[in-house]
Structure formats: structure tokens, C-alpha cells
Amino acid sequence: MDENTLTKIWTTIGLALLYITLNAWVITQAGDLLNIPVNIFSGKLSSHRVATGVFTILICAPISWYLTYIAIIFKKMKKGKIVDTTPIAFNLKIDTQKRESKIYQYFFIISFHILPVLGQIHFLLKFFTHAVPKKWEASEKISMWSIKKLWLTLNRVEMYGIDCIQVDNKTNCIAFFPFIEPLLVILLVLVTICFTIKFLFMKANN
């Protein structure tokens, strides 16, 4: 792909990634008390703040990888500093040597690459500090790292959930898979961090 096409893809995916991250951050912080227009996580899911963060990691981590992959390909085509080797959002014609252009470039680098990573770290910390896995209906707390409970879950002997709330005298939970779910979100976030660091600090073709 040429530079023009890569820039269009980078801009589109970056905007989507930022929007999803902001949507999820609002829900994990305040539920429906603080909202933004067309929040994709509003409604029933807003009562499950921890689960919203987990879902966002599952969605945004692969998107971040592809966005960073596009940015790395673009960087290999260019020479100079990071403001010169990062796609210019919306394909505007700007002089990256000027101060206002550098601010423009850094704004979108932070918005598309750094903020989503910080968001995923926030959701991960929220998960490990607020998630309380429980046996469905019985409210019996379990360890999120229990391989034995994972085996029972996979064999449908027992079911576990997080973010359990009472709705019409019934327990409403988000399904949880012990051991494998916390391990998965950790790995996804770590790969995102590593990939982003690679893009930010890799040397261009000077």
C-alpha cells in the first residue's frame, strides 16, 4: 500500500480505537452517570463496569496491534523524527518542521497510540482490583486463578460470573472463566504495550 492509503487506514482505525476507549472509560468510571453521545456501552452493560473493561481489552487490543502495524510500515517508508515518520491524520498538507504541525502530530500520536494503551492498562487494573468471581446464584467467591474451577466451567458442572447484580430478585452476572480469562487479558495488554513501544522508539530510515 502507498503512503496515502496507509494514512487513511491509520486515521480511520485510530479514531475508532480512541472512541471505543473513551466510551469504555466513561462506563468503568461512572456508569450512566457520566455519558457521551452514542456510547456503545450504555444501557444494560453500564451496570457491569468491570466486564466493560474486559470486553474493551478483547476488542481494542487486536485493533491496536493492527493500527501500530500500519504505523510501523509507514515509518519504514520515511526519514526523520517521529513527527516526520508518523502518518498525518486526515491526510492534511502540513509542514512537520513547524511548531504547530509538530503539536498536531504529537496530539494524534498520543490520541491513537498512547491513550488507548493507558486505557487498556486502566481496564486491566480495574479487573484485578474490583472483579470478584462468584459461583452463579450461590454468591460463593472463588479464586480467579483456579484451574480446578476452570475445568468445572468448561465441563458445565458449575458456572461463575463477575459484576453480579440483582435484577427482579434474580442474580445477573457476566460469565467468567477462571484462570484463562485473567491470563488472556494480561497477555493481550502486554503485547499491546510491547508493540506500541516498538513503534514509538524504533529508528526510521535515516
Identify the pLDDT of residue 144: 94
- 27 falls within a domain: yes
Residue given cell 481494542 in the structure block: 60
How many domains is the chain partitioned into structurally?
Answer: 1
- 106 falls within a domain: yes
- 154 falls within a domain: no
| 168 or 91, greater pLDDT | 91
Identify the pLDDT of residue 139: 79
Identify the pLDDT of residue 204: 74
How does pLDDT run across 38-65, given as a tens digit for each residue? 556 665 566 788 988 999 999 999 999 9
Percent of the chain with pLDDT over 90: 68
- 149 falls within a domain: no
- Which contiguous run of DSSP H or E holds residue 30? helix 3-30
The helix/strand count (H/E) of the chain reads as 7, 3
How does pLDDT run across 133-159, given as a tens digit for each residue? 998 877 789 999 999 999 999 988 889
| 105 or 23, greater pLDDT | 105
How does pLDDT run across 4-41, given as a tens digit for each residue? 999 999 999 999 999 999 988 988 886 654 555 555 66
Tell me how far apart the alpha carbons of residues 164 and 130 are, in angstroms, rounded to a whole number: 12
Residue given cell 444501557 in the structure block: 43
- 153 falls within a domain: no
User: Which whole number is the average pLDDT over 155-175?
Assistant: 82
Cα torsion 55, 56, 60, 61 to 10°: value is -60
Identify the pLDDT of residue 1: 86
- 112 falls within a domain: yes
- The residues near 91 (Cβ < 8 Å, ≥ 6 apart) are 4, 7, 8, 11
- 19 falls within a domain: yes
Domain of 62, in residue numbers? 3-131+180-201
How does pLDDT run across 63-86, given as a tens digit for each residue? 999 999 999 999 999 989 999 999
Name the grid cell of 94: 502540513
Query: What pTM does this model have?
Result: 0.90
CA atoms within 13 A on the CB side of 126: 25
